[in-house]
Structure 1
Amino acid sequence: MGVGNKKWQVFMLVGVSIFMSTLDSSIVNVALPYIMEDLSSDVRTVQWVVVVYLLTVSSLLLTFGRLSDIRGRRQIYVIGFLVFTVGSFVCGQAWTSGMLVSARILQGIGASMLMACSPALVVDAFPQTERGKALGMMGAVVAAGLTLGPLAGGMILAWFSWRLIFYINIPIGVMAVLAGILVLKDLPGGKGSREPLDKTGSFLLILFLCSLIVTLVRLPDWGVVSLKTGMGLVTAIISGWWFAMNETNTAYPLLDLGLMKIRLFILPLISTAILFASLFLLVFMMPFYLTYPGGFTASKTGVIMIVPFLFLLIISPISGMLADRLGSRLLCTLGMTFMCLSLFFLIFLSPQQGIFAIVWRMALAGIGTAVFVSPNNTAIMGSVPVHQRGIASGATATARTLGMVLGVALAGTIFSAFLTFQGEGMDSYIPAMAPAFMEGFRHVMAAGTILAAIGIAVTFSRGNEKMKKTGQI
């Protein structure tokens, strides 16, 4: 087998894993109203179907990325796809919302293993002169997964049960496991190293993220001033501080905290979390809006939901090329501004306005994301030494996924809290509930607008790339 054929076989294999893991993070959103009805659940419970998957992925990305260096990427990839496939089967079999949420944890563990080692597999397979092109093509695969997810979900829901959304992963997963065993056996990164895994850091990171997100999601039930809320926040603060101390003192840290001193690393990283929190706040709420007060069918909902991700697929390569000439500060600030405007205009959306009013508002979010992502990633990767780009890549993926889960948690918390305040609930929606629904929807979009406005300030504060050359970072 030639080297040229080998690298593209690896690319195709990695592309399948990235496509499936990103597809699964977007396809489920369209199905949430149907899952809620079929399993006799409510918004506050069904949001965990999305939250727990993203939380699991974000908590374990750095751990499995490090583990792929130690144990070998082939082993992590194959086991990851196997776990993802088994998790998909259990999701399809779920007969209660609790079982579905538990199965999504299993699926998220597999997805985190795939996402953690996939970029490194590409770097292992391609020569240095072709890595930029290969990683750029991987970005297109991510966009394709996010774009096709809502469309595929809408089409499946129009003809079949929501369970098929999970079952379609099974044959693909089985073939990918077999292909991974054969294709990845001779890669340079397949043997691993003898360096130890920072188990304490891994545990503390999981504890920090889980305590923080669970507290935010359960805030409406527990109350702002309550023993449970206080314990959750104290746990998050202590575990976060302990994680920072551990990473400073251990010889083989999950995350080199020295990178946090680099302005063009830390501020773009924070901006990443804010942008994706804003985007997924919108992505979580829109299927409920389109299905209930909007009255759209599942297939139309799926088509409308691809609008933001379609712009990500088309514009991202262009914004990446512009970043080479203009830098990231202007483009990323512009992208965050578009996101802020999208959420602001969604505050004034009403079911009587029709499909065009929805599409152009969502298009603004897609344009903003597309203009932001490539320049921002370029700034992050370009701000760190070459030998730390793997850590930077893992940190970026963690910030992105953490932003997604924070957005979903924030949207579900505000929306559920407002409907409860109004004496309403989403267990059995009827048209008479539309005014209360829209008030909750507008409060969520207003919160997103404020969040994105903060993101504009953070993004602009990064300074220009030329600062790195003058030592002012």
Structure 2
Amino acid sequence: MQGVVNILYGAGAGLGGPLGGYIYDNFGWRSAFLVQLPLLVASAILITIHVNIVLPRAPLTLSQKLKKIDWLGSLTLVLFVSSLLAGFSLKATKDLAWADSRVWGPLSFSGLALSAFIFVEAKVSSVPVMPMRLLLSRTPLAVSLTNFFGSIVSFSILYNVPLYFMAVRLQTASGAGLHLVPSSISLSLGSVGAGWIMRRTGKYWALTIVGGAISLLGSVLMASWDRKRTSNGEFWFDIMFSGLGFASTLTSTLIAIIACVAREDMAVATGITYLFRTTGQVLGVSLSGTIFQAVLVSKLRETMPGPNSDKTIQAIRHDAGLVRLLEGAQREAAISSFAQALKVVFICQASLAVLTVVCALPIEERPLPGSHEEHDESHKRRENCKDNA
């Protein structure tokens, strides 16, 4: 089922790139966001009509249910993520120094908020949103970190690959978005393939490591891109490894955490992995954007010629599509600066892809629910109980 869901996710990601680029090219970037509103409304209507999950009735009043919500933990978590993003965003978009209070202030506050969140979850909350006893267990922690770093890498790729083709290869936004299609196709194949392999073998540990290694290969290939020597075929082919490996890893780690926790902890454990995954997705965009802008501004200031170079730099920093409109030495300086900045980002992605594989190594191999191994293990436990009796 997870594989089927990821097929639809991959199809949406594949269509979103070129469709969003086409809308941007013809109607402007605001329209690319406005067109999502009717789709979101339609999605909400379909969920309301078709999703009807009947939960066991709990003898709790509304007031008692509200008291079980981890309000303080949720608040400190939101403060941590939002202040962290604010610091990185101001650094990237406003070209502020790290010593500027508008940068280090939010970043410092995010550290305090994270400390408060951990304290609340460990010592204060009776029903924590992220139970420390579960998070600090071997497999849940390994799965969470694997999802976290893998999501950073994946969303950094989704954000920066179209930027590469717009600013370095001088393609339109719609043409740049098309380069995400191979990744979305491989994402669908990776998820379905991982599910099929686990169903046939009853194993997931080796699959997780292989998936992480495939994603690492994709990041390494992207880091080796050269605007003059890399062929068009390589640009289309290299990005497929990222989607294939990431989808395989997501599917296998979800099964891993389900297999390694008690039934009563499954909902909370999967919630923790999604928390780490979504946090990694957000940081993948913000961190890569911060690194990219820092290197880009430095390179542009070194190489951009002309009396109005500062205005040109500010313009192309915020709209990579303008690089195509430059001429002569200014265009060459812009293309070279974008290429160097994105290479640094891709190298950082590859480094985090290595961490993804390392974090997956401690995941425990357990018999999968319904597999032959689980039946054999259950039979052994019953035999041991008879012998002890």
Same fold? TM cut 0.5: yes
The aligned counterpart of 1:372 is 249
The aligned counterpart of 2:206 is 330
Matches within 5 A, 1:288-303: 288-303=163-178
Q: Does 1:344 align with 2:220?
A: yes
CA deviation map 1:81-125 (0-9, x unaligned): xxxxxxxxxxxxxxxxxxxxxxxxxxxxxxxxxxxxxxxxxxxxx
The aligned counterpart of 1:20 is none
Give the partner amino acid of 1:216: F
Answer whether contact 2:150 2:353 (CA < 8 A) is retained.
yes
* Matches of 1:301 and 1:159, distance apart in 2: 14
Answer whether contact 1:156 1:162 (CA < 8 A) is retained.
yes
For the residue of structure 1 that corresponds to 2:126, the secondary structure is coil
Matches within 5 A, 1:160-171: 160-171=27-38
The aligned counterpart of 2:81 is 209
Structure 2 residue corresponding to 1:442, chosen from 320, 343, 355:
343
Answer whether contact 1:223 1:229 (CA < 8 A) is retained.
yes
For the residue of structure 2 that corresponds to 1:205, the secondary structure is helix
The aligned counterpart of 1:251 is 126
The aligned counterpart of 2:15 is 148
* Matches of 1:140 and 1:343, distance apart in 2: 22
Question: Which structure 1 residue ranges, 5 or more long, are not aligned?
Answer: 1-132
Matches within 5 A, 1:187-198: 187-189=53-55, 194=62, 195=65, 196=67, 197-198=69-70
* Matches of 2:211 and 2:46, distance apart in 1: 39
Matches within 5 A, 1:426-437: 426-427=316-317, 428-429=322-323, 430=326, 431-432=331-332, 433-437=334-338
For the residue of structure 2 that corresponds to 1:251, the secondary structure is coil
CA deviation map 1:158-201 (0-9, x unaligned): 554444433333434444555555556x6524988632222111
Q: Does 1:454 align with 2:320?
A: no
CA deviation map 1:301-356 (0-9, x unaligned): 22211211211112211112323426332222222222222222222212333421
- Tell me how far 1:375 sits from its aligned partner: 0.7
Q: TM-score, normalised by structure 2?
A: 0.77
Q: 1:155 to 1:436 in 2, by over 3 A?
A: closer
The aligned counterpart of 1:62 is none
Answer whether contact 2:155 2:285 (CA < 8 A) is retained.
yes
Q: Does 1:389 align with 2:266?
A: yes
Give the partner amino acid of 1:381: I
RMSD (Å) for aligned C-alpha atoms: 3.0
* Matches of 2:18 and 2:57, distance apart in 1: 40
Give the partner amino acid of 1:419: L
Matches within 5 A, 1:124-139: 133=1, 136-139=3-6
The aligned counterpart of 1:273 is 148
Answer whether contact 2:121 2:129 (CA < 8 A) is retained.
yes
CA deviation map 1:270-320 (0-9, x unaligned): 011111111111211111111122122333322211211211112211112
Answer whether contact 2:187 2:247 (CA < 8 A) is retained.
yes
Give the partner amino acid of 2:292: F
* Matches of 2:138 and 2:243, distance apart in 1: 27
* Matches of 2:251 and 2:153, distance apart in 1: 17
Q: 1:283 to 1:228 in 2, by over 3 A?
A: same
Q: 1:462 to 1:182 in 2, by over 3 A?
A: closer
* Matches of 2:187 and 2:75, distance apart in 1: 34
Q: 1:211 to 1:158 in 2, by over 3 A?
A: closer
Q: TM-score, normalised by structure 1?
A: 0.64
* Matches of 2:266 and 2:358, distance apart in 1: 26
* Bigger relative contact order (CA 8 A; separation at least 6): 2
Answer whether contact 2:3 2:251 (CA < 8 A) is retained.
no
Q: 1:326 to 1:445 in 2, by over 3 A?
A: farther
The aligned counterpart of 2:194 is 319
Q: 1:387 to 1:225 in 2, by over 3 A?
A: same
The aligned counterpart of 2:114 is 240
Structure 1 residue corresponding to 2:184, chosen from 298, 309, 326:
309
Q: 1:182 to 1:359 in 2, by over 3 A?
A: closer
Give the partner amino acid of 1:367: L
* Matches of 2:42 and 2:106, distance apart in 1: 42
* Matches of 2:40 and 2:104, distance apart in 1: 42
For the residue of structure 1 that corresponds to 2:179, the secondary structure is helix
* Matches of 1:243 and 1:143, distance apart in 2: 33
Give the partner amino acid of 1:243: F
Q: Percent of pairs identical after alignment?
A: 21
Q: 1:462 to 1:255 in 2, by over 3 A?
A: same
- Higher CA-based Rg: 2
